[in-house]
């Protein structure tokens, strides 16, 4: 009987762990002009989007619904009548959720887009940059990981591949009116099969025009002159 229960638990775990966003697929090439225009200055729309605690709650409830007999060790709010799911899994999903939350806390960012390049400039984090050559996206490789990117229909996808099977996926979807942007961020582990997703909404805004035209130089750092429109 115990053996049967273990087999059932394992099957349920597999089905629970498979309840993750479908593997991101993105074409790394396109023809003609870019499928969507993501460029602009974007600010967070706090009225919409996922809340990390709510999403965690949903995640664990889905897991417990798949097998009501299963209980999670140490997770507050649920009965702890013995667990078949290790605390390691709990720690890992919490870790993934925390990372997803932290790297998507941007209030403002900007996206610049040309025929051959998309750059997402983020404060206190590296710019997500995707370059296209003859319509084919080229990734970046460093000693610490790699980035690949591309288009999935009209959605721009950027994937970060880190050591130990850690993956960070951003999927950018711009509304038809180009005034709203949705970014779905998935942090996952290919070794455990666990993943956690958060969606954020952003609205486009126009920054206040500056009176100064500034350029960076090497010997004098930033040099500014009065702009043409200044009085």
Main-chain dihedrals φ then ψ at residue 119, nearest 5 degrees: -130, 125
Q: Which residues between 66 and 105 bind another protein (CB under 8 A)? A: 88, 91-92, 94-96, 98-99, 102-103
CA–CA separation, 44 and 38 (whole Å): 15
40-50 b/e with 16+ CB inside 10 Å = b?
Answer: bbbebeeeeeb
Site for another protein in 182-201 (CB under 8 A): 187, 189, 191-192
For 216-225, the CB contacts below 8 A with 24+ separation are: none
DSSP class of residue 71 equals -
Residue closer to another protein, measured from CB, 22 or 218: 218
**How many Å apart are CA 231 and CA 196, to the nearest integer?**
52
Q: Is the CB of 134 or the CB of 177 nearer to another protein?
A: 134
Strands (DSSP E) contained in 29-163 are 40-44, 108-113, 117-122, 128-133, 136-138, 140-142, 145-152, 155-161
- H-type helices in the chain, by residue range? 2-17, 52-66, 87-103
Q: Looking at 35, 83, 145, 199, which residue binds another protein (CB under 8 A)?
A: 145
Contact call for residue 126 and another protein (CB under 8 A): yes
3-class DSSP state for residue 84? coil
Measured between alpha carbons, how far is 82 from 2 in angstroms, rounded to an integer?
14
- Give the footprint of another protein on residues 153-182 (CB under 8 A): 160, 162-164, 166, 168
- CB of 80 within 8 A of CB of 88? no
Q: Between 2 and 215, whose beta carbon lies closer to another protein?
A: 215
Q: Residue from 177, 217, 228, 229 that binds another protein (CB under 8 A)?
A: 217
Which of 218, 228, 229, 231 touches another protein by CB under 8 A? 218
19: its two tokens: 């309840």
* Minimum separation from the CB atom of position 195 to another protein (A): 12
Residues β-bridged to residue 183: 172, 200
Stretch that binds another protein, among 14-22, 104-112, 130-138, 150-158 (CB under 8 A): 130-138
Of 2-10, 14-22, 69-77, 135-143, the window that binds another protein (rule: CB under 8 A) is: 135-143
Stretch that binds another protein, among 9-17, 64-72, 133-141, 202-210 (CB under 8 A): 133-141
What is the nearest approach in angstroms of another protein to the Cβ of residue 95?
A: 4
Q: Give the footprint of another protein on this chain (CB under 8 A).
A: 88, 91-92, 94-96, 98-99, 102-103, 125-127, 129, 131, 133, 138, 140-145, 147, 160, 162-164, 166, 168, 187, 189, 191-192, 215-220
């Amino acid at each position: 009987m115990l053996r049967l229960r273990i087999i059932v638990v394992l099957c349920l775990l597999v089905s629970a762990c498979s309840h993750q966003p479908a593997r991101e697929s993105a074409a790394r090439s396109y023809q003609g002009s870019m499928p969507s225009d993501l460029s602009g200055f974007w600010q967070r729309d706090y009225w919409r989007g996922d809340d990390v605690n709510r999403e965690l709650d949903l995640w664990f409830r889905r897991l417990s619904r798949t097998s009501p007999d299963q209980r999670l060790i140490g997770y507050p709010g649920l009965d702890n009548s013995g667990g078949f799911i290790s605390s390691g899994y709990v720690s890992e999903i919490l870790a993934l959720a925390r990372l997803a939350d932290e790297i998507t806390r941007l209030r403002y960012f900007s996206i610049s887009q040309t025929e051959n390049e998309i750059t997402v400039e983020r404060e206190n984090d590296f710019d997500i940059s995707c370059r296209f050559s003859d319509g084919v996206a080229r990734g970046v490789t460093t000693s610490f990981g790699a980035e690949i990117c591309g288009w999935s229909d009209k959605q721009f996808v950027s994937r970060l591949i880190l050591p130990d099977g850690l993956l960070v996926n951003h999927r950018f979807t711009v509304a038809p009116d180009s005034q709203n942007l949705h970014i779905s961020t998935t942090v996952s582990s290919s070794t455990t099969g666990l993943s956690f997703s958060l969606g954020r909404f952003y609205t486009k805004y126009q920054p206040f025009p500056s009176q100064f035209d500034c350029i960076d130089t090497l010997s004098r750092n930033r040099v500014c002159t009065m702009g043409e429109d200044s009085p």
